[in-house]
Amino acid sequence: MSGCCAPGAAPSGRVRRAGSRTGSGAPAGHGVERCRVPAQTFRMGDAHGDSRWDDGEGPVRAVTLDAFDIDATTVTNADFARFVDATGHVTEAESFGFSAVFHLALAAPDEAVMGRVPGAPWWLGVRGADWRRPGGPGSTTEGIDDHPVVHVSWNDAQAYCAWAGRALPTEAQWECASRGGHDGRRYPWGDELDAPDRCNIWQGRFPAENTLDDGHLTTAPVRSYHPNDYGLWQTVGNVWEWCADRWDPARGDDSRVTRGGSYLCHASYCNRYRNAARSSNTPDSSTGNTGFRTVAR
């Protein structure tokens, strides 16, 4: 894959500006490598005028955080399988019997398709779609253990965190970590997109044709591309990541924030593969492009 690191390999000679890695072991079997984000005051929010007025990315404001550690990658299928094996956890997609699958990723008979999502017809409600079967009942996670787990709700992510002795990041922690010590940048690496060499997003004509310039129709291995200067991989693109915060607590909204965009993001409809970008979903919702990473409690 042109311009990308091999899965599991770090680019040679990279220099980390401020963050440092900590050991990969963690309580209760959480085996994701962790990176240290130093205490700091950073500028949070959209400094480029890229956001929609209703996304709540502004105004740019100074936020002060204590030092914290955060997962270098999103939780993978293999990581989540260890949690399920240890606890017997049943995800909400499994309990409800369905989840949302992107239409080109469908691996299911016609009778499993419940219908299209109003306003977003590229999403299908699919019976039997869950974290073990991301495309529907005709799919498995065989061969993609190192890809991010998907079809996990905010509630499922919270259950994993309780088992692991971890927590979901706050929005401020997530954005600070994604910026990698660089205030004001549009992306973790700078202000120019430079796709497909930097992140896993959509190439082509959305939602009908993906030219696969980056080699991925859906998820990529969590250690594809290059980490940022704190050592975090793929904070933008690949999968949306659940955060701890409510979307709009002033309105009593129970929806939870997601950050980072996904493999479906494209400039023609979703310019949210940026450090400051926000989206949300209800805490019991699951889709084929949403996962999570954790922080220390």
120 in any annotated domain: no
Residue 208 lies in a domain: yes
Percent of the chain with pLDDT over 90: 81
Gap between the Cα atoms of 120 and 108, Å rounded? 19
Please state the rounded mean pLDDT for residues 63-84. Answer: 98
> Average pLDDT, stretch 45-73?
92
Mean pLDDT of 74-90: 98
Query: pLDDT tens-digit profile of 206-231?
Result: 999 999 999 999 999 999 999 999 99
Mean pLDDT of 86-91: 98
Average pLDDT, integer, range 52-67: 91
Report the SS3 class of residue 170.
Answer: coil
Residues ≥6 apart with Cβ < 8 Å to 131: 77, 80, 91, 93, 94, 141, 149, 150, 151, 152
In this predicted structure, the answer to whether residue 160 has a pLDDT above a threshold of 50 is yes
Residue 15: its pLDDT value, please?
28
Q: Give the per-residue pLDDT at 269.
A: 79
Cα separation values, 96 from 26, 89, 92, 173, 286, Å: 31, 14, 6, 31, 10
* Residue 41 belongs to domain with CATH number: 3.90.1580.10
Average pLDDT for the chain: 90
- How far apart (Å, rounded) are the C-alpha atoms in residues 224 and 9? 8
Specify the number of domains making up the chain. Answer: 1
Q: Residue 77's domain spans which residues?
A: 30-88+145-296
Domain assignment of residue 107, yes or no = no
* Confidence category of residue 164, pLDDT binned at 50, 70, 90: very high
Q: 94 lies in a domain?
A: no
**pLDDT > 80? residue 46:** yes
Per-residue pLDDT, 122 = 96
Q: Give the residue-averaged pLDDT of 104-113.
A: 98
Contact predicate 146/78, CB 8 Å: yes
Report whether pLDDT(25) > 80. Answer: no
Residue 52 forms part of a structural domain? yes
- Is 177 inside any structural domain? yes
The mean per-residue pLDDT over the stretch 120-141 comes to 98
In a domain, 10, yes or no: no
What's the pLDDT tens digit per position in 169-209? 999 999 999 999 999 999 999 999 987 889 999 999 999 99
**What's the pLDDT score for residue 268?**
83
State yes or no: pLDDT of 10 exceeds 50.
no
For 247-273, how does the pLDDT look when each residue is reduced to its tens digit (9 = 90+)? 987 787 899 999 999 999 988 878 899
Judge whether 54 lies within some domain. Answer: yes
- How many whole angstroms separate alpha carbon 132 and alpha carbon 112? 16
Residues 80, 94 contacting (CB under 8 angstroms): no
